[in-house]
């Protein structure tokens, strides 16, 4: 089914034209940022008042970086589609408008699961949360990470704003635009060290300090930062810049061991840490005196400065703090590893075609079961088959409550629900040279904040 064979209509979202499937009606504007605009919409042909989020991504065909990021997001959302703790991409569309000269790109539209808010909004609101909430959230993050890592993928940008949450505490990991593949041998991951990765406050020290490669432990560090933020109501390492970020980590975790420091790739950073003198570790029980001791024990293991000593996702899932949730039979791994072969393509025109082809492929992928069921139904009607098989949908409907993945409630039971969500939602001067080194990745290659 071609992306052009769709009837669309137009409405305004944050003063932008949204050209979408005409069976969707705008509910309200949700948000906008550097990469796109989001609204909630109602599927008019659903008997259950199905609502979803529609995200329009613009300007992706103007820069290679943005085009590749969108392609990466599309491919990963397809690969991870169906896991209960990863946001679901229901459908995708790409729109070109005819003008007097050629077809002008309007936008890439992602039809996604509608969640009520993100964890950043929850923490910022100051609403009271209990230890049970923390357990549930961290457990769900780890379940999602187990699935992601099993496909040989690092998320690399875990933070509260990339964790979508519903009122029933169901959590979904989103935003895979910075994800990368990894090798179990960290030395083979060196090519990632000079790329933008992770929002600074949630960035593992091995990324900042040019360790000899890094692994999935970076996502565990980010999860530990999120746990600390839940416990304290604010980010634990809120650095203003690279050097300040390092200082704040050291002020809590203390001076790393010599064996850990030896693996730091920059001699200047080693010298800097040495000249700070010995910094004692601050017990997490002093930072979070009211926290569950088991939560603090897990936090201690997640925020180990040395990635080799950091707890793994599998170990964290078995930690006593999460025992009420832990169920090895409900913590699946991905069936296949993800192919990052497209990352070698850097020609913008080639990437454009890859995005267009991926959109077309995805649309066929989500529609194929519907078309097969419709064909089966017709064959049964004419007596060509004896078995019965219900169609997922009426006619040629492409998105409905029936073909959306079932939701699992966040209780300790394996129950499924088809409820769809409604609404989202100083550095001191003598270290300036060091700061410059850190800011440029310690090897002269610029890293964005």
Residues annotated catalytic, as ranges? 157
How many other C-beta atoms lie within 10 A of the C-beta of residue 109?
A: 23
Q: Counting beta carbons within 10 angstroms of the beta carbon of residue 18, is it exposed (0 to 12), middle (13 to 18) or buried (19 or more)?
A: buried
Could you tell me the two tokens for 409? 């409630």
**Among all chains, which residue has been given the structure tokens 């049970």?**
132
Partner residues linked to 171 by β-bridges: 165
What whole-number distance in Å separates Cα of residue 208 and Cα of residue 389?
55
* Ramachandran class of 435: left when φ > 0, alpha when ψ lies in -120 to 50, beta otherwise: alpha
> Residues 6 or more apart from 428 whose CB is under 8 A from it?
none
What whole-number distance in Å separates Cα of residue 304 and Cα of residue 156?
17
**Among all chains, which residue has been given the structure tokens 């990052």?**
340
Give the Cα-Cα-Cα angle 406, 412, 417 (nearest 5 degrees).
20
| Nearest one of 215, 313, 207 to 269, comparing CA atoms | 207
**CA dist list (Å): 404 to 13, 237, 245, 296:** 25, 38, 42, 38
- Are 79 and 338 within 8 A, CB to CB? yes
| Nearest one of 198, 217, 201 to 260, comparing CA atoms | 217
Partner residues linked to 89 by β-bridges: 112
- Are 222 and 158 within 8 A, CB to CB? yes
Handedness of CA 321, 325, 330, 333 (dihedral sign): negative
56 is in an annotated binding site: yes
The secondary structure of the chain in percent helix, strand, coil, rounded to multiples of 5, reads: 40, 15, 45
Q: CA dihedral defined by 399, 400, 402, 406, rounded to 10 degrees? A: 80
- Are 90 and 113 within 8 A, CB to CB? yes
Binding residues for ATP are 56
Binding residues are 56
């Amino acid at each position: 089914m071609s992306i052009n064979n769709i009837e669309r209509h137009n409405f305004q979202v944050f003063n932008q034209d949204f050209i979408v499937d005409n069976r969707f009606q705008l509910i309200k504007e949700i948000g906008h940022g550097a990469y796109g605009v989001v609204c909630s919409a109602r599927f008019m042909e659903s008997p259950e008042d199905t609502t979803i989020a529609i995200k329009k991504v613009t300007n992706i065909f103007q820069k290679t970086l943005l085009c590749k990021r969108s392609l990466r997001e599309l491919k990963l959302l397809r690969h991870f589609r169906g896991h209960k703790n990863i946001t679901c991409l229901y459908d995708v569309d790409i729109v070109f408008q005819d003008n007097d000269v050629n077809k002008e790109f309007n936008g890439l539209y992602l039809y996604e699961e509608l969640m009520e808010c993100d964890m950043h909004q929850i923490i910022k609101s100051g609403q009271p949360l209990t230890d049970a909430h923390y357990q549930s959230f961290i457990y769900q993050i780890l379940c999602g990470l187990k699935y992601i890592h099993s496909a040989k993928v690092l998320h690399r940008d875990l933070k509260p704003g990339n964790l979508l949450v519903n009122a029933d505490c169901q959590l979904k990991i989103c935003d895979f635009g910075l994800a990368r593949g990894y090798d179990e041998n960290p030395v083979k991951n060196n090519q990632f060290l000079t790329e933008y990765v992770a929002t600074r406050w949630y960035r593992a020290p091995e990324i900042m300090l040019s360790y000899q490669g890094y692994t999935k432990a970076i996502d565990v560090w980010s999860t530990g930062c999120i746990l600390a933020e839940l416990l304290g109501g604010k980010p634990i390492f809120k650095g203003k810049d690279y050097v300040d970020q390092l200082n704040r980590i050291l002020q809590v975790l203390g001076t790393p061991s010599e064996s850990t420091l030896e693996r730091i790739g920059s001699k200047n950073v080693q010298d800097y840490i040495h000249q700070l003198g010995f910094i004692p570790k601050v017990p997490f029980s002093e930072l979070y005196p009211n926290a569950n001791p088991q939560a603090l024990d897990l936090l201690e293991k997640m925020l180990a400065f040395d990635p080799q000593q950091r707890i793994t996702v599998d170990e964290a899932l078995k930690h006593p703090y999460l025992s009420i949730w832990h169920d090895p039979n409900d913590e699946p791994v991905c069936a296949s590893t993800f192919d990052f072969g497209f990352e070698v393509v850097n020609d913008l025109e080639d990437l454009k075609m890859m995005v267009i082809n991926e959109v077309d492929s995805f649309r066929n992928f989500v529609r194929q079961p519907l078309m097969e069921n419709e064909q089966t139904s017709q064959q049964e009607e004419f007596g060509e088959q004896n078995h019965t098989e219900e169609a997922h949908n009426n006619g040629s409907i492409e998105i409905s409550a029936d073909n959306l993945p079932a939701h699992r409630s966040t209780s300790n039971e394996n129950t499924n629900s088809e409820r769809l969500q409604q609404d989202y939602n100083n550095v001191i001067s003598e270290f300036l040279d060091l700061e410059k080194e850190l800011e440029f990745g310690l090897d002269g290659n610029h890293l964005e904040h």
